[in-house]
Amino acid sequence: MYDELRDICWKHNMMLPKLGLVIYTFGNASVVDRKNGVFAIKPSGVDYEKMKPEYIVIVSLEDGKVVDGALRPSSDTNTHLELYRAFPNIGGVVHTHSTFATAWAQTGLPVPIFGTTHADYLAMDIPCTDFMSDERIQNDYETETGRQITDWFAKHHVSPDEAQMILVAGHGPFTWGDSIAKAVFNARMIEELCKMAFITKSIAPDTPRLKTTLIEKHYERKHGKDAYYGQKS
Amino acid sequence: MYDELRDICWKHNMMLPKLGLVIYTFGNASVVDRKNGVFAIKPSGVDYEKMKPEYIVIVSLEDGKVVDGALRPSSDTNTHLELYRAFPNIGGVVHTHSTFATAWAQTGLPVPIFGTTHADYLAMDIPCTDFMSDERIQNDYETETGRQITDWFAKHHVSPDEAQMILVAGHGPFTWGDSIAKAVFNARMIEELCKMAFITKSIAPDTPRLKTTLIEKHYERKHGKDAYYGQKS
Amino acid sequence: MYDELRDICWKHNMMLPKLGLVIYTFGNASVVDRKNGVFAIKPSGVDYEKMKPEYIVIVSLEDGKVVDGALRPSSDTNTHLELYRAFPNIGGVVHTHSTFATAWAQTGLPVPIFGTTHADYLAMDIPCTDFMSDERIQNDYETETGRQITDWFAKHHVSPDEAQMILVAGHGPFTWGDSIAKAVFNARMIEELCKMAFITKSIAPDTPRLKTTLIEKHYERKHGKDAYYGQKS
Amino acid sequence: MYDELRDICWKHNMMLPKLGLVIYTFGNASVVDRKNGVFAIKPSGVDYEKMKPEYIVIVSLEDGKVVDGALRPSSDTNTHLELYRAFPNIGGVVHTHSTFATAWAQTGLPVPIFGTTHADYLAMDIPCTDFMSDERIQNDYETETGRQITDWFAKHHVSPDEAQMILVAGHGPFTWGDSIAKAVFNARMIEELCKMAFITKSIAPDTPRLKTTLIEKHYERKHGKDAYYGQKS
């Protein structure tokens, strides 16, 4: 019944080490099937080299419990669950500990929008959550990690369709998209943007953000109503 | 009719990801056929993995319109067009978002000529355009990007044969050459020179430019009238 | 008699260049067989490309002398010996000169615990030994290198099970674990943590350590008595 | 007659791109045959992908003229010649523009001996020549490059056997050894030492040089009269 969902989930998890975004068992990707009220996610602590489609775990969107699968789901499952509930348009979620994005997350700072490569995907700084309060840490930690993310969007009145990525302070990047493929793409993109921003800041620490008119121009030509990047669908 | 031109264009576009200069659909290479008044360029937003020679788009040098091909040309087509018109000796143009060159472009600073590796290809700093004015941004943006480049050469009385590369401030590198192969070579070179300059500046922020006599010696032994680098042609 | 031990030792030594942790003859891995009172270690100065299982040297835990094998053992053999004697729970030891870990060791500073990637493996800074005294250098140098390590753990009342890695000041990383596989894993991990910490410090030199509650949460979910990471064994 | 010498020269030149030390036509390796008074060197400006053993050029040690071969020798041939004449024990010379070594050379600074990885090969800072005087630049430039190197050794009373590498200020690394294989090894090593020193300096700009007793211990255990590293020959 969940064969196809498992296959898609497995295939996109396997892309993470190939894209240089994870080593060993770091990171996880999930894909949602909203019609059936479930999402498929990587099992916890299984090496990518040994991963098989049948190891993928199917989890209920309603109560976060395992619906199908013999293994324990990723320890970050409740973070994915929280995002699927709060962001109704998203189809996939990816979490990695990729080197440059994680190094930025460790500073607790947003990533300044320094150039058009960034503006092509995101018309603002890459957001970074606050550090989690002790009260939340003692609570259901993974659910609260999801809430750190959704709180940021609520507080800043930003839609998760506009910014499909965030750094969790002290932790690492989470990305999403209308599909798991887009979420993986965004995981690769946040790593590249963080690497570029690190180099820019090392060369010239006082580099200002890109001017607003240029940010808007680049974002709009890819995502605006008169977008002209790519092929007509 | 355009089979050969398409093949050359496709082959050199495919070198960009192999040389580590582009990921996903970033970047584009074009090649001009001045006799027939056209140039061949990558289609917009098509993955390198799926690229085929027949997808390459043929564009008129006269009016920038598509002459042949089923797909939309690169969104940067008008920048290429502007360069082919302003620089009559060039045979190919390459644009990438390669990591170190883009990070330098984001600072809006030229890349100081710190060593002989740089002087072997360019007897001056790697130029960087001004940031584009709001007026130009609102205009035909890609044509204006080309004009930012050609303006720099006009203003500084430099020939595009002497400096076959430039950083567009806040954006990234553009390179060219008498052939598309040379333009791709220069795209690889600007990335390496930007990486070296970043490391040099990190080690010793006050490193001065290379002395002029040494710059001229290296540039001349490769490009001067008594050049003795390489094989006699 | 030692065929299996040699095979395990050889296989894990061969992983070091594949993981990008050693070049040429740098680095060495060993595995202990406490029942038989021996450990197997890489021969000294033999290229990885030419390494064969039969070249692995078997050394006595009692007196550090070669028990079996035609070649000289690694020049660092006495450091391994010292660790096996002082740390009764460990099953393998790895030493490399991997780039980022060695660069940190050269500073003589511990690596601050900046994020959860670090806390997943180690609930404290990555320790760094003192620089060795002249007296110790003149003594049996490799044994004294081991003592620099064991002294740190004794002085700071830390168990080598909690911190399975250390930087030897001015030298490089040593890692261990209950198996040689875990020691190799830790060698890869210390390199990644050192790389991330370098980038974090370059972006924001004043980045504080991760808050204690978050360190404990991450360490405990992987290693505490109620750990829920990974699969039930 | 020179078939074997050409083969050795070709094989070691081909290692340079594989070791990540050169791109395109950068860099060159040569090997000397002192008995026959010649050395074999890479032709000038030939791509590594197209290089064949028969392209290697044979040059006289006496007058630097081509003895055998259809192509022009490397433009750096006279630098190699100068080194073979001044350093009678060396068997091979390598010059590259490898990224981190060239970036250091651009600063004009020696590379501080920060750790034992460095001391294993060299008991002093990696030397850097002075910047060349205008008078020398106007003279036979490549011969003078060799003299910048040999002058450093004469002035500092250091033997080229002790320090088998140097940075030419503003240019890049030159290495040598008793064989071309050792010269290639040293070219890889200087790149790694320069990368590590860059990272160390970025983390802690005031890192002091390694203490002398530790430098001597490491250098002696590999190169001293009681060396115990490696296998008995």
Residue with more model confidence, A224 or B2: B2
pTM of structure: 0.97
From residue D44, give the alpha-carbon distance in Å to each of A3, B81, B196, D56, D159. Answer: 59, 36, 23, 10, 30
Contacts of C195 in chain A (CB under 8 A): 99, 103
For residue D195, is pLDDT > 70? yes
Strands C172-177 and D28-33: unpaired
For residue D232, name the pLDDT band (cuts at 50, 70, 90).
confident
- pLDDT of D226: 84
- pLDDT of B199: 98
Alpha carbon distance C198, C201 (integer Å): 5
Whether D26 and chain B come into contact, CB under 8 Å, resolves to: yes
Helices (H), chain B: 3-18, 77-86, 99-107, 116-119, 134-138, 141-155, 180-203, 212-223
Is residue C120 part of the annotated active site? The answer reads: yes
- pLDDT of B233: 63
For residue A58, is pLDDT > 70? yes
- pLDDT of C229: 83
At residue D64's C-alpha, the angle toward residues D63 and D65, to 5°, is: 90
From residue B24, give the alpha-carbon distance in Å to each of A9, A177, B18, B44, C133. Answer: 21, 16, 12, 12, 54
Contacts of C72 in chain D (CB under 8 A): 228, 230-232
At residue B227's C-alpha, the angle toward residues B222 and B228, to 5°, is: 95
For residue A183, is pLDDT > 90? yes
Whether D112 and chain B come into contact, CB under 8 Å, resolves to: no
At residue D196's C-alpha, the angle toward residues D193 and D197, to 5°, is: 85
Q: Tell me the DSSP string of chain A.
A: --HHHHHHHHHHHHHHHHTT---TT--EEEEEETTTTEEEEPBTT--GGG--GGGPEEEETTT--EEE-SSPB-TTHHHHHHHHHH-TT--EEEE---HHHHHHHHHT--B---SHHHHTT-SSPBPBPPPPPHHHHHS-HHHHHHHHHHHHHHHTT--TTT--EEEETTTEEEEEESSHHHHHHHHHHHHHHHHHHHHHHHH-TTPPPPPHHHHHHHHHHHHSTT--SS---
- pLDDT of D233: 63
Look over chain D and give the mean of its residue pLDDT values, rounded to a whole number: 96
What is the edge-to-edge ordering of all strands in the sheet holding B172-177? B66-68, B57-60, B38-41, B28-33, B92-95, B172-177, B165-168
Contacts of C185 in chain A (CB under 8 A): 24
- Asked if ipTM goes beyond 0.90, one says yes
Q: Which of D21, D200, D212 is most worth mutating to test chain C (most C CB atoms within 10 A of its CB)?
A: D200
- pLDDT of A233: 64
Asked if C108 contacts D207 with a C-beta cutoff of 8 angstroms, the reply is yes
Mean pLDDT, residues C8-21 taken together: 97
Q: Which of C120, C125, C141, C151 is catalytic?
A: C120
Q: How is residue D154 written in tokens?
A: 């004469």
Mean pLDDT, residues A193-216 taken together: 97
- pLDDT of C225: 85
Q: What is the pLDDT of residues D76-122, one digit of tens each?
A: 999 999 999 999 999 999 999 999 999 999 999 999 999 999 999 99
Q: What is the pLDDT of residues C85-140, one digit of tens each?
A: 999 999 999 999 999 999 999 999 999 999 999 999 999 999 999 999 999 999 99
For residue A39, name the pLDDT band (cuts at 50, 70, 90).
very high
Mean pLDDT, residues D179-194 taken together: 98
Give the whole-number percent of chain C exceeding pLDDT 90: 90
Nearest C-alpha neighbor of C186 from the set C93, C81, C119: C93
Q: How is residue B185 written in tokens?
A: 């070579």
At residue D46's C-alpha, the angle toward residues D174 and B53, to 5°, is: 125
Each of the 233 residues of chain B gets a pLDDT tens digit; together they read 899 999 999 999 999 999 999 998 889 999 999 999 999 999 998 989 899 999 999 999 999 999 999 999 999 999 999 999 999 999 999 999 999 999 999 999 999 999 999 999 999 999 999 999 999 999 999 999 999 999 999 999 999 999 999 999 999 999 999 999 999 999 999 999 999 999 999 999 999 999 999 999 999 988 888 888 888 76
Q: Which distant-in-sequence residues (6+ apart) come within 8 Å of A212 by Cβ? A: none
Q: Tell me which of A190-204, B39-53, C183-197 is least confident.
A: B39-53
Q: Which of A19, A195, A215, A231 is most worth mutating to test chain B (most B CB atoms within 10 A of its CB)?
A: A231
Mean pLDDT, residues A228-232 taken together: 83
Of C97, C100, C132, the CB nearest to D199: C100
For residue D1, is pLDDT > 70? yes
- pLDDT of C233: 64
Alpha carbon distance C220, C206 (integer Å): 27
Whether B203 and chain D come into contact, CB under 8 Å, resolves to: yes
Whether A117 and chain B come into contact, CB under 8 Å, resolves to: yes
Backbone phi, psi, residue D169, to 5°? -55, 130
Alpha carbon distance D166, C118 (integer Å): 38
For residue C193, name the pLDDT band (cuts at 50, 70, 90).
very high
Is residue A229 part of the annotated active site? The answer reads: yes
CB contact under 8 A, D231 and C71: yes
